[in-house]
Amino acid sequence: MFHALLIEKNDDNYQTRLTELDDSQLPEGDVTVRVEYSTLNYKDGLAISGRSPVVRRFPMVPGIDLAGVVEASDHARYKVGDRVLLNGWGVGETHWGGLAQKARLKGDWLIPQPAQLSARQAMAIGTAGYTAMLSLIALERHGLSPESGEVLVTGANGGVGSFAIALLAKRGYSVTASTGRPAEADYLKHLGASTIIDRAELGSPGRPLAAERWAAVIDSVGSYTLANACASTRADGAVAACGLAQGMDFPATVAPFILRGVSLLGINSVTRPYEERVTAWQRLSSELGLALLDEMTREIALSEAIDMAHDLLNGKVRGRVVVDVNRY
């Protein structure tokens, strides 16, 4: 038996509860992991609350991230005792996820946990840090360098935004952070932001083209914020779009793309190939200051995750939340 969060739905009710499950209930997979830590991401908040139809199959154990130790394996890459982690692949949406003490998964979804990181540190990074790194890699592949100019990070107080600021600053970029919580300015500057702007500057309908300012953008917000970020990106700059906190719509024109040559780079963190995942995590383990990581993170017990998910969606959570699934 093991403890887990379980989402159930019928015609009249959508409910997430802490419960006890039997190993025989685990889904199919060729690797069984004894989970040590998971996380709470925006998508997890949507799943747990039912605020958006993220979960496609019921009952469902949420949690799009996990780190732990292989307990059983029929996969050639992993043996019992190996430390592994997982991000994405529909886990927590169509396949039982990490907010549980055990998970049974496809081995192809896993990667080895970097030796420089503990399981807790890996989950403090989680999908948020991994997505921020994928965004940075995409921008640098496009030609971005610290000499290119200012880089805008939207949704700066969220998980992706916090990591994006820290990673960019560590590599010498000048970072502008857009936030709806000006009281957090000191925190954002501590992460490495040099300038703070109010999200209201970007969050409402704007002009098809605005004054050129950003060499690049990492946007986790979407909607008008993404449209205005594109409109104010400099000629031949690039915008990495990796989130939808404001909305999934994109109320923009083609003007930035055909008049300034701005590139819009979509960041899909869910189904990246094994080699790309390993590269991103190796860079995270070497480039992210672990002392700063501790400052960005709070730890909760599995039983606290339901309430915390609602706080996350309501913008009350700064940085990262790590879930110790063995405290309940």
Instruction: Give the chain's mean pLDDT.
Output: 96
Q: Identify whether residues 84 and 143 lie together within a single domain.
A: no
- Stated pTM of the model: 0.93
Q: Is residue 100 part of a domain?
A: yes
Q: Identify whether residues 202 and 232 lie together within a single domain.
A: yes
Q: Is residue 318 part of a domain?
A: yes
Question: How many C-beta atoms surround the C-beta of residue 63 within 10 A?
Answer: 31
- Tell me the per-residue pLDDT of 253-288, one tens digit each, with 9 for 90 and over: 999 999 999 999 999 999 999 999 999 999 999 999
In total, how many domains does the chain have?
A: 2
Q: The domain containing residue 166 runs over which residues?
A: 127-266
Q: Is residue 121 part of a domain?
A: no
- Tell me the per-residue pLDDT of 245-256, one tens digit each, with 9 for 90 and over: 899 999 999 999
Q: Identify whether residues 63 and 156 lie together within a single domain.
A: no
Q: Identify whether residues 257 and 146 lie together within a single domain.
A: yes
Return the percent helix, strand and coil in the chain, to nearest 5.
35, 30, 40
Q: Identify whether residues 261 and 133 lie together within a single domain.
A: yes
Q: Identify whether residues 88 and 133 lie together within a single domain.
A: no
Sign of CA dihedral 247, 248, 251, 252: positive
**Token pair for 190:** 């501590």
SS3 26: coil
State which of 248, 266, 284 marks the end of a domain: 266
The CATH number covering residue 184 comes to 3.40.50.720
Q: Identify whether residues 135 and 261 lie together within a single domain.
A: yes
SS3 20: strand
